[in-house]
Structure 1
Amino acid sequence: MTSLAAPGARLAPQGHQAGLRIALLDGFRLIGGAEAIPVPGGAERLLAFMAMRRRAVGRLSVASSLWADATEGHAYAALRSTLIRMNRACRDTLLVTPSSLELAPGVSVDLREAQALAHRLLEAGPHDAGDLSVESVATLSSELLPLWYDDWLAFEVEDWRQLRLHALEAVVDGLVQARRFGDATAAAGVVVRADPLRESAQTALIRVHLAEGNQSEAVHAFDRFSRLLHVDLGLEPTPQLRDLVGRHVRSQRGGLHR
């Protein structure tokens, strides 16, 4: 179907009417209504690639990105073959011309919604209660296409990882201000588990303990991080983190140390 399009013509998309959704967080899914739609092999990566682009992309650029190890001719042929083998639902997600591909209007992408959430949280507060919800924490806890190791995806994965961790730290601050300490501890724990050596994450967790009045928890968290940082990287916590704990806790051990 795609190979027969007249020059300059676009295939009529049905994505808006079908209510199609591409999910990229915690694994790829194509969803129509409330049901998952089967996607032929090879088409998953094409749809995922296009779902991360906000404008039309030239066919050659798509082909060379997805089939980077192939010659230009073989990559172009592989793209054409993938388009031909697509089922109707997959074709409805794309606008296809002889020279370019683009995600069809009306097709939603969970990653885009999650990115918008993260950017809202990184703006100066106060934040909407919905953005500080348990559901928001779950969204920001989700990885982008885990177990996919394609070269074209590496930058997107790291970009989302950094964005979501910064946003989660902002969630922690908002939850502390709302005195929702249990939810704040859970959100901070997500960031700490994602990157135990990330000092801003450990700082967020320690701030929760201090705000809640749990000085011993703050000291224990500081000590665990200090040991981990020393063993793994031979580093010490920054003076800023030491000062944060020292201002709130009077150590009975003559000072904070490993």
Structure 2
Amino acid sequence: MVSVNETAPRGAHLALLGGFSLTVGDAPVPVPPASARLLAFVAVSCRGAVPRALVAGSLWPEAPEHCANANLRSALVRLRDPGRSALEVTSSAVRLAPGVSVDYHRARALAALVLDPDGSPLHRPRFGATTVLDLSADLLPGWYEDWVLQEAETWRQLRTHALERLAADFMADRRHPEAVIAAHAAVQADPLRESSRGTLIRAHLAEGNATQARREFERYARRLRVETGVGPPDRLRRLVAGDRGGLRGR
């Protein structure tokens, strides 16, 4: 039986964006691969307790139930302090200990705030280039388990929408450099997404960089032809040609 922890070590932080790491204070904590996946799964599954059966079945889907449960016990045992104290473990469930901060939780909350239809993010000074950076990292890149890929796709869609919204708000406030940065981050998240590429083109045009807008359009056109066999839509052509309303009515 793994003991239940009452609190996480002071300053415990779990990073999932751009890669996995666990730190306590400023010190990195070594975590074995299976234990890292356990921590990450609990962190992305929900904010509350996760049934042990769900953890074992999700992390070791090909293993018989008794083997998956044994693997879970092993991953818990190998998670030495202070890493072990980042979890609360009972006979039936696993959860993050109170006080563990997770960059992914913060970034999701930030994206939701940006997209809040009742909010006014345009006039919130904390929304700027730093906000873009907070929304620019992939979730656990290089991890290919089904549960990671599904969550990573959900995050990609959420942050892309938030970055497009930020770019539009920055343009409305004539903060053109920040608009370009936000739109570029949206394109990086989904290079084939038409709305992101159109937002970036509009940001360049709003900044007075028609040449850069044309280059962006041509870059998009080449990539579309290579990866899909089709050319860019006419509305983007009209936008680059000078019709600033080329993306309206979508």
Instruction: Output the TM-score relative to the length of structure 1.
Output: 0.85
Q: Which has the larger radius of gyration?
A: 1
Whole-Å separation in 2 of the counterparts to 1:233 and 1:103: 43
Q: 2:16 aligns with which of 2, 24, 40?
A: 24
Whole-Å separation in 2 of the counterparts to 1:164 and 1:149: 20
- String of CA shifts for 1:200-240, please: whole Å, max 9, x gaps: 11111111122123333333333332343234313243344
1:104 and 1:163, CA in 2 relative to 1: closer, same or farther beyond 3 A?
same
Contact 2:10 2:25 in 1 (8 A): yes
Whole-Å separation in 2 of the counterparts to 1:140 and 1:223: 26
Whole-Å separation in 2 of the counterparts to 1:100 and 1:193: 38
1:232 and 1:152, CA in 2 relative to 1: closer, same or farther beyond 3 A?
closer
Contact 2:177 2:207 in 1 (8 A): no
Equivalent residues, number? 240
1:243: Cα distance to partner? Answer: 4.2
1:228 and 1:41, CA in 2 relative to 1: closer, same or farther beyond 3 A?
closer
The answer on 1:78 being equivalent to 2:71 is yes
1:150 and 1:247, CA in 2 relative to 1: closer, same or farther beyond 3 A?
same
Contact 2:156 2:189 in 1 (8 A): no
User: Secondary structure of 1:184's partner?
Assistant: helix
Structure 2 spans left out of the alignment, 5+ residues: 245-250
Percent of aligned pairs sharing the same letter:
46
Q: How does 1:55-70 map to 2 (within 5 A)?
A: 55-70=48-63
Q: How does 1:71-150 map to 2 (within 5 A)?
A: 71-124=64-117, 126-127=120-121, 128-131=124-127, 133-150=128-145
Whole-Å separation in 2 of the counterparts to 1:81 and 1:218: 54
Contact 1:176 1:208 in 2 (8 A): yes
Q: 1:34 aligns with which of 26, 39, 44?
A: 26
RMSD, aligned α-carbons: 2.0
Q: 1:229 aligns with which of 224, 227, 232?
A: 224
The answer on 1:213 being equivalent to 2:198 is no
Instruction: Output the TM-score relative to the length of structure 2.
Output: 0.87
